[in-house]
Amino acid sequence: MSPLPPKDSDTAPRVYISSPTQAPMCLTSARAVATALLCSSSAVNHVAGATSSREHTCAKQDAGQEAVFECGGRLISQVEFASFGTPGGTCIAASGMISGATTVPGCDAANTVATIEDRCLGQSTCMFTVTADLFGGTPSCTHADSSRRWLMAQLKCGGDESPDAAVSAPRGPALGWQFIAFVFMVGGLYLGLGIAYKVRREGAKLNSLEAIPHVEMWKELPALVRDGVVFSIDTIKSKGRPSYDSVGSL
């Protein structure tokens, strides 16, 4: 009597998704790959060393490892806490906030906040490798029992970067329309003030051409424009004609 064939559930490949820091572990078979994908989305922040919510994102990483801050489509707007040295506290996954955040005097790199602001503000996702050089050197930390240093930071998630928000943002008139409006405004001021001056100071009649400022120049303007066009055309044509030097060389 031959042994019974193994069940499908015994031979189906299994996928394990886990994290070294409190990430949920999901066990699934090939028939439930979709479940594995859902589980991995909750574990990815732990694997990268960051946890995030819509309002905050935090991370705790040792020197030499990669810190990841993720705002889920929103933009990082503020560094609420940051310390590189031996800071205390716990990065809570549910809220993306640090519980009991503390810095140790004399063991806190002075450039930590400024460096993270420069790298992360205005970004939806911020990733970098934690190094002492990045924050201006290794803090002395005379009280520390070992040379281990780590980064602890909490960032605030601010504005939305979704396309709908960009479309709904108010926009001013285009630059071309602004220029046209400026020309009409200057022209109106010139004409109004000029007519007022001619009528009050020179006694010109309001309903006559003499009230227009610089009326003689405006009368000659069409002829001046015509002469300029003719001159430009003649100049272009003359460039295509052979010069005397080129004829003589033949």
Q: What is the pLDDT of residue 170?
A: 52
Query: Do 183 and 81 fall within a single domain?
Result: no
pTM: 0.47
Query: Do 140 and 207 fall within a single domain?
Result: no
Q: Final residue of a domain: which of 164, 195, 222? A: 164
pLDDT digits (tens, 9 = 90+) for 42-54: 333 443 445 545 6
Residue 170 lies in a domain: no
CATH number for the domain spanning 76: value is 2.60.120.740
Query: Do 44 and 56 fall within a single domain?
Result: no
Domain that holds residue 22: 11-48
Query: Do 42 and 64 fall within a single domain?
Result: no
Give the chain's residues under pLDDT 70: 1-54, 145, 160-172, 240-250
Report the C-alpha gap between 135 and 164 in whole angstroms: 37
Q: Final residue of a domain: which of 106, 137, 164? A: 164
Query: Do 41 and 55 fall within a single domain?
Result: no
Query: Do 120 and 80 fall within a single domain?
Result: yes
Query: Do 120 and 186 fall within a single domain?
Result: no
Report the C-alpha gap between 86 and 106 in whole angstroms: 10
- How many residues does this entry show for the chain? 250
Number of domains in the chain: 3
pLDDT digits (tens, 9 = 90+) for 52-101: 456 999 999 999 999 999 998 899 999 999 999 999 999 998 889 999 99
Query: Do 42 and 124 fall within a single domain?
Result: no
Query: Do 67 and 149 fall within a single domain?
Result: yes
Q: What is the pLDDT of residue 214?
A: 85
Residue 201 lies in a domain: yes
Query: Do 44 and 84 fall within a single domain?
Result: no
Residue 169 lies in a domain: no
Query: Do 53 and 124 fall within a single domain?
Result: yes
Residue 114 lies in a domain: yes
